[in-house]
Amino acid sequence: MQTSRPPPPQGNPPPYAFVNRFYRSSLRPVVVVVGLLSGIWTLLQAISLFKEVSTDKSQGFPKLGIFAIVLGALYMAVAVIEFFGVGAAALQRAAFVRIYSVLTVASALVVVVAGFLLVIVHFAYKNEILDECVKLSTGDTVVVRYGIWGPASKTQLTQSEAEDFCKNAYSHDSWGDIIALIIEIVLAALFCSIAFAYYRQLIDPTSPANSSRAPSTQFRGSNYPQHYNPPYNASVPALPYNAPYGQYAPPPGPPPNAPPYDHNAPPGYGVGMDDSKVELGPEKDIKDDPFADFDGPSLSERRTGSPGEERDVTSRPHPGGRETFNV
């Protein structure tokens, strides 16, 4: 039988331990940061799409304006959900977090649908997008920068230059929209997992997310509650199972309710009760033989030869006869 537990694993954890490693700590800060970033990004996307509506209509492309309104409304709905999740995580209310975890699934689907719709519009309305770009770019000034810290030049585009510029921009945006859609799908699934994991922490009384909400927190200070499972502390050595306890130290002094004892008296070497150093009092019947069941001569008298009464109790005459034997 193995009586010692194996030491903690060294090195990087396996890939499947990613969630368990983060579950040992509270996911509340992660939910707040993720919700803020998602809400700000979707809000900026919605504002940018709403600004394009007037431009599309003024250039004579009303269909593009309709798609911009639809996409802007979808991103605005996602922004509202994410900001609601930030408030739910800040309040640490299980009911609100449960609603948010369910809404994250809807927001993830909305983001994915919006990404697919953006890609479809980009390829289905290619000519309209290029024509609008050429109209807006012709006669406009373009700033070309060489490198990050390099010099910059300004060029006013002609009709042909505007067409080349818009084709290059369209080709670049095509790959960008596809890559952005893939990233949005991965991040949406990850954000949903984080939201549900945080909700599970709130309903789990042994999770670290509930340690700060326990009523005893204000009384115990910064100590970890005893009724929760603390995370693994690497500073504690690996103790074996069934380890022997330390030697018990007897309490100092005599036991309670003990009679007075003379510590300076030498120990007794006799075998009788008379050698006891404890005064039992005159009312106690002290016998040399504690197993004696009759009053007879003491053991000390028989050893010293002191006279004592002896009688035969092993036999007697037959019933009705003499009480004594003939001598």
pLDDT in tens, 123-161: 998 888 888 888 887 877 666 665 556 566 667 778 888
Average pLDDT, the chain: 73
State whether residue 156 is helix, strand or coil. strand
CB 234 within 8 A of CB 8: yes
Residue owning tokens 């921009």: 169
Angle at 170 between CA 169 and CA 174, to 5 degrees: 120
State whether residue 233 is helix, strand or coil. coil
Question: Which residues are CB-contacts of 38 (< 8 A; sequence separation ≥ 6)?
Answer: 78, 79, 82, 107, 191
Per-domain boundaries in the chain? 19-123+181-212
d(CA 151, CA 140): 20
**Which of 41, 44, 116 is CA-nearest to residue 82?**
41
pLDDT interval class at 13 (50, 70, 90): very low
pTM recorded for the entire structure:
0.55
pLDDT, tens only, 74-117: 999 999 999 999 999 988 888 899 999 999 999 999 999 999 99
pLDDT beyond 90 at 250? no
Q: Across 109-151, where does the E strand assignment appear? A: 141-145
Would you give the DSSP letter of residue 141?
E
